[in-house]
Each structure stands twice: as C-alpha cells, then as structure tokens.
Structure 1
Amino acid sequence: MNLANKITLARIFLVPVILFFLLIRFDLGMVRFEDFELTYTQIIAALIFIIAASTDGLDGYLARKNKMVTNLGKLLDPLADKLLVAAVLISLVQMDKLSAFIAIVIISREFAVTGLRQVALLEGAVLAASTWGKWKTGVQIAMIIALLLNNFPFALVDIRMDLILSWAAALITIWSGIDYFVKNRNLIPVE
C-alpha cells in the first residue's frame, strides 16, 4: 500500500477518534472567556478534524506527484471525505449545534454526486472536482471548525460566523450539486 493510500486510511481511522471526543461525556476541563466556554474535548476534536481534513489534499497531491494513483485510492479518498464530513455533521446535529436541514442538504448532495460519479465510471469517464466543489469543501470545513469551537473567536465579538458559514455551506453545496448535474447531464439516462 502506497503512502497516499495510507494517509487516506488514516483519515478514515481518525473519524471515530473525533466522534469519541465529541460525543463521549468526560471532563477534561474548560476554557472560559467572560460568557464564552469551550471544553478541552471540543478543542481536541477540532484539532483532530483539522488534521484529518488537511490530509484530503495531501493524499491526492502525493498520489499524482509520485504517480501512485490506484483504484483503491480512487475508491477510498471520496469515501474518507464523506465519512469525515457526514459523521461530524450528524454529531453536530445531535449536539444541537447544527440544523438537521443543513446536514441533510450537505449529506444528500454528497450521495447524489457520488451516484453521478458512479454512472460516469460505468461510462468510462471520471468527473474531476469542479471549482464550486472545491469552494463547497472549503466552506463546509470552515463551518464545521466554527461549530466545533463554539464560534471561537467570533463569539468574543458577537458575530455569528458559525450561522453565516452554515447557510453559506448549504447554499454553495446546493449550487455545486446543480453545477455537477448540469455539466454532466449527458450521463443521466433519459428513457
């Protein structure tokens, strides 16, 4: 197994670690600033999420640069991305930090585009990530980090960046999904 695939697998294995720190209740203490509170478990979960999310670009870069692109990597990379984002989104809904509507929009788009990618593969085509897809990923990651950290540092100056990013992520997610389907409508069988 090459280095790129090992990095992808590490991202998958970090998912339950993040969930452990998010969902299992144990007290490691808390950081407080006036009315703002943040548990150390949230900080740890956020740091692990940032590390896991940052490996997404790294594994793809290494695979292409070193000519190590494999079928396993093509399968695992999008799976790892979706597991990471979906697991954290569902956890944030359970923690009452994210609207279920936004989580459903994001997860549904991922299923739909994954289905389109599978149809493309059956036709012998590969759908590259679009610019909108890359923006979607960046805004979703920023949103998740803001939610994991209770909107820090924006909460200190009373700016609801977590809410702004949540709705921005939903809108960009919808738009990028529409963009994928419109650009690849020739792959959708019409009978």
Structure 2
Amino acid sequence: MPFLSQFRAAPNLLTLMRLFIIPFLVIQILDGHYRMAFALFMLAGVSDALDGLLARWLSQKTTLGQYLDPIADKLLMSTLFVVLTHVGMVPRYVTVLVFSRDLGILLIATLLFATGTLRDFRPSLLGKLNTLVQIVGLVVVLSEKVFPLMEIGSLRSWLIQAIAWLAPLSAAQYAWIVFRRVNASQPSAV
C-alpha cells in the first residue's frame, strides 16, 4: 500500500485520533476537569484496542501503523505521567523512572536498528507487565479524582510503587535480552 494511502487505513485513523486526543486530555487535567480527562483517557484506550482489532479484521496492517501505534501509546502515557506529576497526582521520582526506562530503550533500539545489529524489538513479558501496571495505575489515579467516594488510595499507592519497581526492572531485563542477542549474533573470535 502506498505510504500516503496508509493514512486512510481505519486502524491508522484511530491511532491518529488517539494522538489528537492528547492535547485535549492535558488541557482537561490542567483545568481540573477530571471527569472529561477520564473520559478522554478511556476513549484513547478503546481506540488503542480497536486499531489492533481492525488491522487484523480488515487486513490493514501497514508499515505506518507498526511505527505510529507504539509512538502514540508512548506519547499518551508519557504525557499523562508528566501532567499528573505537574498537578501533584504522581510523584516525580515515578515519572523520572518511567521516562528514563523509555528513553533508554528508545536510544538502544534506535542505535541497534540504525547499525543493522538488531531489527526485532518485541516487548518482554516484564515489559508488558510494566505497561499494564502503568495503564491501570493511571486509570486509578484519575479514578480517585472522578469517584472521590471510592477508597482506592491504598490501591493507588501500591500501583505507584509497582510502577517505580517495574520500570527499572523491565529496563534491566530489556538490556540483558539485547546484550544476549547481540552477543549471540556476533561471530566468535578464533
């Protein structure tokens, strides 16, 4: 499929919508409109689930989608961490750990891809768990503002701590996997 035509594929349109939601989500949080922010975050989550399903059902898997989808996901999550830290809902150290992990992985993946050393960067099980806990954590953090009568403070605290532990652990696992794969692909010196 020609590159410009890939923008018209239904899954990619959903991904672009998710990117379009981000500034409005930020505005709603900064203005203290947490119900609308929660609704926008849920809409972004639904669009993320649907774009993958549509890509399979409609046979519209595209090169653009392979790059755009994870970029949209990371941009959404990273932006939320920064904004929620700014308004005091997520501790700074958690956002720093999340950003450090993502930046490290991005730099290593870019370097390995550019040098042709490795081209396959599938997430590990711990990486997937890290992402899941981050998503659930952000939902709970926003839920605390939307549903103030719910006693979820201890769940929020537990999830924040889990994020703080999983981010560096999954980064270390990713580094270890890359190290092993790079060493396995190198011819040994005789």
TM-score (norm 1): 0.80
Cα deviation for residue 79 of structure 1 reads 1.4
Alignment of 1:44-59 (within 5 A): 44-59=36-51
Alignment of 1:68-83 (within 5 A): 68-83=60-75
Larger % of strand: which? 1
Question: Is residue 2:162 matched to residue 1:168?
Answer: yes
Q: Tell me if structure 1 keeps the 8 A contact 2:11–2:51.
A: yes
The equivalent of 1:3 in structure 2 is: 10
Greater shift after overlay, 154-163 or 11-20? Answer: 154-163
TM-score (norm 2): 0.80
Letter in 2 for 1:149: S
Q: Tell me if structure 1 keeps the 8 A contact 2:15–2:48.
A: yes
Question: Is residue 2:77 matched to residue 1:92?
Answer: no
- The one-character-per-residue Cα deviations of 1:140-175 (angstroms, maximum 9, x if unpaired) are 011111111227769644751111101101211221
Q: Tell me if structure 2 keeps the 8 A contact 1:62–1:68.
A: yes
Q: Tell me if structure 1 keeps the 8 A contact 2:144–2:153.
A: no
Change (3 A) 1:65 1:12: same
Letter in 2 for 1:73: G
Cα deviation for residue 65 of structure 1 reads 4.8
The equivalent of 2:20 in structure 1 is: 13
Alignment of 1:171-182 (within 5 A): 171-182=165-176
Alignment of 1:1-191 (within 5 A): 1-24=8-31, 41-122=33-114, 123=116, 125-150=119-144, 156-157=150-151, 159-185=153-179, 186-187=181-182
Letter in 2 for 1:18: L
The equivalent of 2:187 in structure 1 is: none
Q: Matched residue pairs, number?
A: 174
Which runs of 5 or more structure 2 residues have no equivalent in the other structure? 1-7, 184-190
Letter in 2 for 1:108: S
Which runs of 5 or more structure 1 residues have no equivalent in the other structure? 26-40
- Same amino acid, percent of matched pairs: 25
Q: Please give the alpha-carbon distance, in whole angstroms, between the structure 1 residues aligned to 2:108 and 2:56.
A: 23
Change (3 A) 1:156 1:69: closer
Larger % of helix: which? 2
User: Residue 58 of structure 1 aligns to a residue in which SS?
Assistant: helix
C-alpha root-mean-square deviation of aligned residues, in Å? 2.4
Change (3 A) 1:55 1:178: farther
User: Residue 12 of structure 2 aligns to a residue in which SS?
Assistant: helix
Greater shift after overlay, 66-75 or 77-86? Answer: 66-75
